Amino acid sequence: MRLALLAGLVLASCTGGSDPDPGPPPGELMAGVATARMPAPVGIGTVGFGPFGVSAEPSPFAEMFPATTRVHGHPEFKAVAISRGEGHELVFVRMDSVGMFQQLRQGVVRELAERHGRSFDDVVIFGATHTHSGPGRIVDGGGPYDIIADRFMPEFYERMVMAMADVIEDALDDLAPARVGLATGDTNEGHSDRRCEDGLEYENGSLPLIAIERDGQLDALIAAYAIHGTVLGIDQLTLSQDVSGAIEEAIEDRFDHPVEVLLLNSWAADMAPSSPNVDTVTGAAQPSGYDRMETVGVVVADEVEARLANLTWHEEPAIVGSTHRVGINRDLLGYEDEFDYDYGAVYCSSGDVCDCDGGEVCDLETRVEGLDEACVPFNEEYPAPMQTVFTAGRVGPLHFVTFPGEPGTLLAEEVMDTLAIEPFMFIGYSQDYLGYSILEEDWWQGGYEASGALWGPRQGEYLKEAAIDAFSRTFAPDPVMGALEPPPVEPFTVGEYTPYDPATGVDAGTVLVQPAAAVSGTDVISVTVAGLDPWMGTPIAILELADGTTVLRPNGMPVDSDSYAFWVDLEPTPGYRDEPDARARTFAWTFSLPATKAVGSRTLSGDYRVRVKLPDGTEVVSDTFTVTPS
C-alpha cells in the first residue's frame, strides 16, 4: 500500500476534493426510515451454531438444524436512507443475521435495479447483527454450507430478497428534508475480550453515531459497536435479535418519541457481550440470557445518551459510496507450503495449547505447529468464496469502510490506524461473509477465531489490505485497477419450487388459555391464543389497560410482543412428528409477559388485558387481569 498517496487522498477527502465524480450536483439533504419484520416462520432453523447435539421436534421449515419454537425480539430489517439525489445517496440496512452473503446482497441489488432502472451497488450498505438466532436456509452452497446454515430453501430466500428490497424502497419513499448529526462515544461496558489465545485482555469501545433529524426532531440513529451478537444458545430454539436488538430497544426508550435505532456491528470477532452491573429490582423470572441482554442495553444506551448532547450538525454533507470487489484464493494470499487447500478450509484445530475455558491467558509467543494441516477442507464442488466485496464512503466528515465477516479488534485497528481519519465508522459483518479474520501471528495461536477463517492464516492480513485499498480507490479512483475487479457474483438460484401450502389453523382467533385473574409483581402473565400457520407470520400481542388504552413504552410505541417485553412460544397440535401431513392443526401461540422487569423501570400495577392480532387481521382480546406490585 502506497501510504503517502493514501494519506494525501484521505486529507483531500476531508475537504471534499477527492470524492469520485457522482454525476449530477447534489441537491437538498433528505432522509427516510423504514422497519420491517423478517418473513421468518417459527420453526425455521437458525444459523451460526452447528446443527448437532440439540433435541427438538421437527418442522416443515427446518431440515438439518433443530426447529425453533420461540420468538423474543422478532428479527427485523431496518433501513435509513440518506440522500442528496441520485449519485449522492446511501441506504444503511441492518438485518438480524449471522452475516450478509454477497449472493443475497446481489439478489437485492438486482431486484432494486429492476424496480428503479438504475444500479444500487454503490448505495446499499448491509450490516448483520450477527445474532445466532436469526433464520438460516438462505445460502445455496450445499455440502459444508448446509452444516453452517441448514439446507437452502428457495421460497424462503426469495421472500427474504423481496422483503429487503421492500424495506429499502420504503425508506426511499419516506425521504423528507433532514440534517445529519455526528458524534463518537466510547465504552467498554457492553463487551469483553473473549480471546485468551492472543495473550491480551484488550478492548476497543469506539461507538460512532450518525443522527438523523427531520422537522426539528431526532428520527433515526445509526451506531456501530463491537459486540459478538450472541447471548442465546441454540438449545433455546429461539428466533431473536439477541443482544443487538436489546441495545437498540434500550436506546430507543431514552427518547419520548419514536426514534429508529440501527446498531451495526464492527470488529466483534473477539468481543463477547459483557455481564455489566446495573441497578435492578426484584422482577419476574425470565429465560436464561434475557436479563443479561437488557443490562448490556442499559450501559450502551447510557453512553449514547451522553454523547447526543455533543452532536455536530451538517446541513449539506457530502454523501459518498463506492463498492469494490477483490479476488481471494491461495495464490493471491501468497501461500507456498503452508495452508495447502486449493479451495479453502475451516475448523483448523490441533488441540488447545492452553486451557482458555479455565480462565488461563495464553502466552503471546505461543504458536501451534501444524495448525494449518489440521483443517476441514472445502472442495472443488463446494469451494470457499473466491471473491468478496467492500464498500467505502462518507457522510460529511465521517468516513466508513465495510468488512466481509468477523474481524478481530487488532486487525480493525490496523485498518483505521493506516487510514488515520476521524470520525470513522468501521462496519463489520457487512456486504459479504468470509468467517473470522485476525492477524496472521494471532491465527497461529489457534483457538475458535482462528478455526473460522475460510482462507487460513493470511486471510485477515489480505482482507485488511483489501479494505484499505477499497477506501483508496473510492477517493482516488483508478480506472486500471477498477477494470481488474471481478464482476459481481450471481445471486443464489431460486429455480422451480413447490410453494409451501399452509395448514388451516383450527379455531384461529380464540383464546385457549386466559391469563390468571390476579397477578403479583414477580409473576409472568401468560395468555394462549389459537392462531395461524407460522408461515403466515407470528401474531402480535399488545398490552392494554382494561379500558382498551394501549400501554406505551417511554418512546411512545406500544408494549408488544415484537419487542423484548414478551416472549412467544408456539405448539402445533397435532405435532409435525406425529402427523407430518396434517392439513389442519391447532397453532397454540403463548404470549408471556413479566409483570415486573428486573432490568429497567417497567412495573405493572392495575387492571390490564392483552389484545392479539393475527396476520390475517383477526383480533382477539383476553380477559382482564389485575397486577398487584410486590
The DSSP 8-state label assigned to residue 430 in this structure reads: B
Specify burial of residue 241 (Cβ count, 10 A radius: 0-12, 13-18, 19+).
buried
| Mean pLDDT of all residues in 86-92 | 97
Domains parsed from the chain with CATH numbers:
320-484 (no CATH), 504-628 (2.60.40.2300)
Q: 113-116: long-range contacts (C-beta < 8 A, 24 or more apart)?
A: 115/165, 115/169
C-alpha cell at 446: 489457534
DSSP structure string for 179-201: EEEEEEEE-STTEEE---TTS--
Q: Is the pLDDT of residue 563 over 60?
A: yes
Quick one: pLDDT at residue 352? 61
Average the pLDDT over each of 249-253, 345-349, 553-557 and give the range with the smallest value. Answer: 345-349
Q: Is the pLDDT of residue 49 over 90?
A: no
Angstrom distance (rounded) from CA 311 to CA 181 = 5
pLDDT for 213-272, tens place per residue? 999 999 999 999 999 999 999 999 999 999 999 999 999 999 999 999 999 999 999 999
Percent of the chain topping pLDDT 90 = 87
- Closest by CA position to 190, among listed 132, 266, 276: 276
Between residues 366 and 112, the one the model is more confident about: 112
Chain centre distance of CA 393: 21
pLDDT confidence band for 354 (50 / 70 / 90): confident
Query: Across the chain, what does the average pLDDT equal?
Result: 94
- Closest by CA position to 34, among listed 96, 78, 91: 78
Question: Could you tell me if 434 and 452 are in contact, meaning their C-beta atoms sit under 8 angstroms apart?
Answer: no
The single-letter code of the amino acid at 54 is: V
Q: Is the pLDDT of residue 15 over 60?
A: no
What is the distance between the terminal CA atoms of the chain, rounded to a whole angstrom? 64
Percent of the chain topping pLDDT 70 = 95
| Mean pLDDT of all residues in 172-193 | 98
Between residues 601 and 375, the one the model is more confident about: 375
Q: Is the pLDDT of residue 333 over 60?
A: yes
Cα–Cα separations (whole angstroms), residue 269 to 225, 355, 403, 442: 12, 19, 12, 12
| Mean pLDDT of all residues in 434-457 | 95
Angstrom distance (rounded) from CA 170 to CA 95 = 15
Q: Is the pLDDT of residue 5 over 50?
A: no
Question: Could you tell me if 443 and 450 are in contact, meaning their C-beta atoms sit under 8 angstroms apart?
Answer: yes
pLDDT confidence band for 481 (50 / 70 / 90): low
Quick one: pLDDT at residue 393? 98
Angstrom distance (rounded) from CA 612 to CA 615 = 10
pLDDT confidence band for 18 (50 / 70 / 90): low
Average the pLDDT over each of 73-82, 107-116, 369-378 and give the range with the smallest value. Answer: 369-378
The single-letter code of the amino acid at 148 is: I
Helix-, strand-, coil-residue percentages of the chain, each rounded to 5:
25, 30, 50
Half-sphere exposure of 426 (CA within 13 A, CB side): 33
The DSSP 8-state label assigned to residue 625 in this structure reads: E
pLDDT confidence band for 50 (50 / 70 / 90): confident
Q: 106-115: long-range contacts (C-beta < 8 A, 24 or more apart)?
A: 106/488, 106/489, 106/490, 106/491, 107/157, 107/161, 107/491, 107/492, 108/161, 108/164, 108/165, 108/168, 109/488, 110/491, 111/161, 111/162, 111/165, 112/165, 112/168, 112/169, 115/165, 115/169
Q: Is the pLDDT of residue 127 over 60?
A: yes
| Mean pLDDT of all residues in 506-529 | 98
Quick one: pLDDT at residue 556? 97
- Determine the length of the chain: 630
CA–CA–CA angle 423, 424, 429 (5° rounding)? 155
Quick one: pLDDT at residue 522? 95
What is the residue whose three cell numbers read 420468538?
71
Between residues 349 and 237, the one the model is more confident about: 237
User: Residue 159: in which H helix or E strand, if any?
Assistant: helix 154-173
| Mean pLDDT of all residues in 485-500 | 96
pTM: 0.95
What is the residue whose three cell numbers read 483508496?
472
What is the residue whose three cell numbers read 388459555?
513
The single-letter code of the amino acid at 400 is: F
pLDDT for 566-600, tens place per residue? 999 999 999 999 999 999 999 999 999 999 999 98
Angstrom distance (rounded) from CA 458 to CA 333 = 6
Q: Strands 376-377 and 345-346: what pairing?
A: antiparallel
| Mean pLDDT of all residues in 189-201 | 93
Quick one: pLDDT at residue 227? 98
546-580 exposure pattern, b = at least 16 Cβ within 10 A, e = fewer = eeeeebebebebbbbbbbbbbbbbbebeeebeeee
pLDDT confidence band for 3 (50 / 70 / 90): very low
Quick one: pLDDT at residue 48? 87
| Mean pLDDT of all residues in 161-181 | 98
Average the pLDDT over each of 77-86, 199-208, 324-333, 475-484 and give the range with the smallest value. Answer: 475-484
Question: Would you state the torsion angle of the CA atoms of residues 303, 305, 306, 310, taken in this order, to the nearest 10 degrees?
Answer: 120
| Mean pLDDT of all residues in 403-419 | 98
Q: Is the peptide bond before 423 cis (omega within 30 degrees of 0)?
A: yes
Quick one: pLDDT at residue 51? 81
